[in-house]
Homo-oligomer: A and B are copies of this chain.
Amino acid sequence: MNFSSKLLENAVEEFSKLPGVGKKTALRLVLHLLKSTSAEVHQFSNSLTTLKDNIKYCEKCHNISDEVICEICSAPKRDNSIICVVEDTRDVMAIENTHQFQGLYHVLNGLISPMDGVGPGDLTIESLVKRVQHEDVQEVIFALSANMEGDTTIFYLHKKLKDFNIKISTIARGIAFGGEIEYADEITLGRSIATRVPYENTLIR
């Protein structure tokens, strides 16, 4: 691409570093911002630097937070005895949206992935072990992606936690609601038969 302006090229270069944003999309986005008022552009870019400079991570669950201890961890009504282990803040938001979980979270900030150079030390695993040791935890639920990285992480976490006297569970895998059996992949279908549940249990809610 031949840009008519070095400044334009710089901005496009920066935007195209974002995941899933190519040069053409970056140019479209930058030209859109260029049509906004100066105040709007400054607001846009301030929102990012303010976020980066002032963001905190909850000292207990490591979720993104404006306070030292996040809203969920400090809520008096939540069940302190259950910890749901997730990869990042998006998973917390997704589970919170279901309104089905009243316990606390633990955000790993990634999954073990030797291919990407992410080892157990890069995640908040030690802090999870400490929580199980020192807090009144009775159950840990793994809500991690059903892929190689997720399975590896669960395997590792299970080894670390299995000697504590707690219940360890993972979220159910199976055919999604609205999903058609004939289109389901074999692994999911196979597992959903192997881990079938008594019909009466499905009538709850």
Binding site for B on A (CB under 8 A): 1-8, 10-11, 13-15, 17-21, 25, 27-34, 38, 41-56, 58, 63-66, 70-72, 88-90, 92-93, 96-97
What CA separation (Å) do A141 and B172 show in the bound complex? 63
CB-CB < 8 A to A97: which residues of B? Answer: 1-2
| Cβ-defined contact, A51 with B63, below 8 A | no
User: Are A48 and B33 in contact (CB-based, < 8 A)?
Assistant: yes
Q: List 3 A-B pairs, minimum CB-CB distance, nearest first.
A: A45-B45, A41-B52, A14-B47
State whether A43 and B28 are in contact (beta carbons under 8 Å apart), knowing that A33-B48, A38-B53 are contacts in the complex.
Answer: no
Interchain CB contact under 8 A, A52 and B33:
yes
* Known pairs A29-B19, A47-B14; A4 contacts B53 (CB<8 A): no
- Cross-chain contact A41 with B31 (CB below 8 angstroms): no
Given contacts A3-B93, A4-B63, A27-B90, 20 further A-B contacts (CB under 8 A): A4-B71, A4-B72, A5-B65, A7-B55, A10-B47, A10-B50, A11-B47, A17-B44, A18-B29, A18-B32, A19-B28, A19-B29, A20-B25, A30-B51, A31-B88, A34-B55, A34-B64, A38-B52, A41-B48, A44-B48
Closest B residue to A38 using CB positions: B52
Are B70 and A4 in contact, CB atoms less than 8 angstroms apart? yes
Tell me if A55 and B5 are in contact (CB < 8 A): yes
Q: List 21 A-B contacts (CB under 8 A).
A: A4-B89, A4-B93, A5-B56, A5-B64, A5-B66, A7-B51, A7-B55, A7-B66, A8-B51, A8-B89, A10-B47, A10-B51, A11-B48, A14-B48, A15-B44, A17-B44, A18-B32, A30-B51, A42-B52, A44-B45, A45-B46
Q: Which residues of B sit under 8 angstroms from A54, Cβ to Cβ? A: 7
- The answer for the CA separation of A56 and B90 in the assembled complex, in Å, is 40
Establish whether residues A49 and B42, one from each chain, have CB atoms under 8 Å apart when the complex forms: yes
